[in-house]
Amino acid sequence: MRPARVAAAAVLALAAAITIPASSASAAELPAPEIAWVGQQVVANGSDAYIQAKFRCWGGETGTHLWASIKQGGADPTAEGSGMLSDAWYDTNYQYANDPAGQTIQCDGRWHVNRFTVKLVDHPFGAPYVSGTLANGAAWVQFCVFDSSATDDNFPTGFAYDYGWKTVIAQH
């Protein structure tokens, strides 16, 4: 009878291993996401702009999010909520039109160097605001990584950011 119990336990263990998703780790079990650097230059071409960054995170892809924003001009582009007060504002939230998850990222614990597309912000939140295009010069760049453990209730767990002034190279 003992071999039957061992076999039953093995089947149950295998079933449990198959049904538990890889991203089921709790926030306490995951290392914090990291951003090694964000490129010093933003390349702008009309309504699109590109920023490069090196980051890593853990917990799989499901539930992850990357947000990048580039603001130029206006009274203070570094101020919270200043996007619609800026002369030019681009971000990654256009991704929500294609996928309800927005801009997801692979959080496999490896360092990734990726180029991300940000787009001109047009009528955010139904507002009449339409951004101008980026011009040569300085711009405020915000780059944020949210891993699969990040929630509204546990912020800033699972969150990493890099904010700073970068140089725009406009190719319009």
Print pLDDT tens along the chain (172 aa): 434 333 333 333 333 332 323 444 555 689 999 999 999 999 999 999 999 999 999 999 999 999 999 999 999 999 999 999 999 999 999 888 778 788 999 999 999 999 999 999 988 878 888 899 999 999 999 999 999 999 989 999 999 999 999 999 999 7
Q: Where are the domains of the chain?
A: 2-170
pTM, two decimals, is 0.80
Which residue, chain included where needed, has tokens 């990291």? 34
Name every residue whose Cβ is closer than 8 Å to that of residue 136 and which is 6 or more positions away in sequence: 168, 169, 170
Distance (Å, rounded) from C-alpha 74 to C-alpha 123? 17
Check whether domain 2-170 has CATH 2.60.120, yes or no: no
Distance CA 118, CA 138 (A): 16
